[in-house]
Structure 1
Amino acid sequence: MYIKNSERLKFRLMDSKDAQELWEIDQDPTVMKFLNGGNPTSIEQVNSVFIPRMNKYRNSELGWGIWQVSNKVTDEYLGWVLIRPMSFFTESPNTKDLELGWRFFQSTWGKGYATEAAIAIRDAVVANTDVTHVSALAVADNLASVGVMKKMGMHFVRAYLHEDPIGDFDAVHYQMSVRNK
């Protein structure tokens, strides 16, 4: 799948050769604050946990995976947006409800890049599919991510304990219906 450039951004589906880029963004404790309390990710964790997880849901034809987001003029790497079926790491992943997630370098915060990228990726991936909903999860205190969810048109669904093989967390779940063209 190809995702066309948005107003300011361009996109590339990342793969196992992108360990260095995935590692770089996780070195800022402020970026990691709501993910694990602010601890940088080691390159070993990227290679042994993050890349294998990404490879399980990555599907280039459907557009599932982690999309690198770059400035389309300068080519600067700004961050990434993840898209995969909700509940992917359970016995019953929901391919009609896609989960969006994002991580951006702190220097890019407050400029609307996460919202612009998430909307572009969402629109491209759900076009011409039978996807009915798009969701996002965050810890409740992550007001910036909740703000992105709201700007995208998502609405609060529930607060709950999100269980994941690499760590459970108290989550807020936002969701929106999508209408296919």
Structure 2
Amino acid sequence: MTQQRTTSRLILRPPRLDDLASLFAIYGDPATNQFNPSGPLADIHKAEALLDTWLKHWRDKGYGQWTIATVANPDEIIGFGGLDARLYLDTERLNLGYRFAASAWGQGYATELSRAALEYGFAELAVPEVFAVVRPAHMASIKVLEKIGMQLVETLDDVPGQAQSLVYRVGR
């Protein structure tokens, strides 16, 4: 697995089994899911399944979602995010994604993580492009994606009965 990475304020490391409680706290929080059509994780078993998919992605591909803490408080997990291979309906793309605890919002962490993830993808994975999917009402995440240079390229009809998701892309 790739070594831990740091930015000026963040520690980014591969997830571990002992991250389960933090993952469930963040992904099970209704506040962090207000734009997620499937809503918060209902129970710890769903969190275990999500963590298992992340660990498998790391084993299979050598990269994936990072566990995020601050340099100032390395023992407190504030979120999860990074790059992973994800299906956009039937097309696999390298996807940038993140979810932060509500207590970490509004401090620029999503932008800092996203810049580090793009740098990693372009410099170390040598990928030609990175994508992100965002719900159309999620203005905070749209602003992050635009701030890091991503551009709206298409929509994705991935949530039946709801407005189409927006697909952003940035090239190397």
Question: Which residue of structure 1 aligns with residue 85 of structure 2?
Answer: 85
| SS of residue paired to 1:100 | strand
- The correspondence of residues 19-58 of structure 1 with structure 2, limited to 5 A, is 19-36=20-37, 38-48=39-49, 50-58=50-58
Aligned partners of 1:125 and 1:26: how far apart in 2? Answer: 25
Give the TM-score, by structure 2 length.
0.84
* CA spacing shift, 1:77–1:52, aligned 2, 3 Å: closer
Structure 2 residue runs without a partner (length 5+): none
Contact 2:131-2:170 within 8 A present in 1 as well: yes
Aligned partners of 1:41 and 1:126: how far apart in 2? Answer: 36
Contact 2:89-2:158 within 8 A present in 1 as well: no
- The correspondence of residues 17-166 of structure 1 with structure 2, limited to 5 A, is 17-36=18-37, 38-48=39-49, 50-59=50-59, 62-63=62-63, 65-75=64-74, 76-87=76-87, 90=90, 93-94=92-93, 98-162=94-158
Contact 1:12-1:68 within 8 A present in 2 as well: yes
* CA spacing shift, 1:41–1:66, aligned 2, 3 Å: farther
Aligned partners of 2:4 and 2:16: how far apart in 1? Answer: 16
| SS of residue paired to 2:137 | coil
Contact 2:82-2:96 within 8 A present in 1 as well: yes
Q: Shift in Å at residue 34 of structure 1? A: 0.9
Aligned partners of 1:16 and 1:3: how far apart in 2? Answer: 16
> Deviation string for 1:107-155 (max 9, x for gaps)?
1111100110121122123314331001110110011111111111100
The amino acid that maps onto 1:132 is P
Aligned partners of 2:126 and 2:7: how far apart in 1? Answer: 23
> Deviation string for 1:24-44 (max 9, x for gaps)?
102321111111365443101
Aligned partners of 1:169 and 1:70: how far apart in 2? Answer: 33
Aligned partners of 1:85 and 1:40: how far apart in 2? Answer: 21
Q: Shift in Å at residue 86 of structure 1? A: 4.2
Give the TM-score, by structure 1 length.
0.80
Structure 1 residue runs without a partner (length 5+): none
* CA spacing shift, 1:152–1:36, aligned 2, 3 Å: same
Q: Shift in Å at residue 79 of structure 1? A: 0.7
Identity %, equivalent residues: 25
Contact 1:30-1:38 within 8 A present in 2 as well: no
Aligned pair count reads 169
| SS of residue paired to 1:69 | strand
Aligned partners of 1:30 and 1:43: how far apart in 2? Answer: 17
Q: CA RMSD in A?
A: 2.6
